[in-house]
């Protein structure tokens, strides 16, 4: 599911909220939640690849273990 599809789905769900107290919370916190999610998505986009992690944080893995992780990622 793409970010835009997810965002549209959430907006439809939020429009169906009937409880006024919940609607007020959506108004108060919704924009902050969107900003947090947007920042998280951005950090995931320019993150390191699995191969990068094999060179640094996962250098202790054997080649067989690295290959298993590669298969799992596919």
Sorted by where each begins, the domain ranges of the chain are: 3-73
Q: What is the pLDDT of residue 45?
A: 60
Average per-residue pLDDT for the chain? 88
**Pick from 20, 19, 14, 53: which is nearest to 34 by CA?**
14
Please give the span between the terminal C-alpha atoms of the chain, in angstroms, as a whole number. 17
Contact 63, 40 (CB under 8 A): no
pLDDT in tens, 27-38: 999 889 888 888
pLDDT of residue 73: 86
> What pLDDT score does 67 carry?
96
| Res. 47 pLDDT band, cuts 50 70 90 | low
Contact between residue 73 and residue 66 where contact means Cβ atoms under 8 Å apart: no
pTM of the shown model: 0.47
């Amino acid at each position: 599911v793409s970010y835009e599809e997810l965002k549209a789905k959430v907006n439809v769900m939020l429009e169906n909220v009937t409880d006024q107290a919940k609607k007020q919370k959506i108004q108060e916190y919704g924009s902050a939640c969107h900003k947090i999610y947007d920042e998280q998505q951005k950090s995931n986009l320019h993150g390191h690849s699995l191969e990068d992690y094999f060179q640094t944080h996962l250098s202790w893995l054997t080649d067989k273990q690295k290959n298993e992780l590669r298969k799992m990622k596919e």
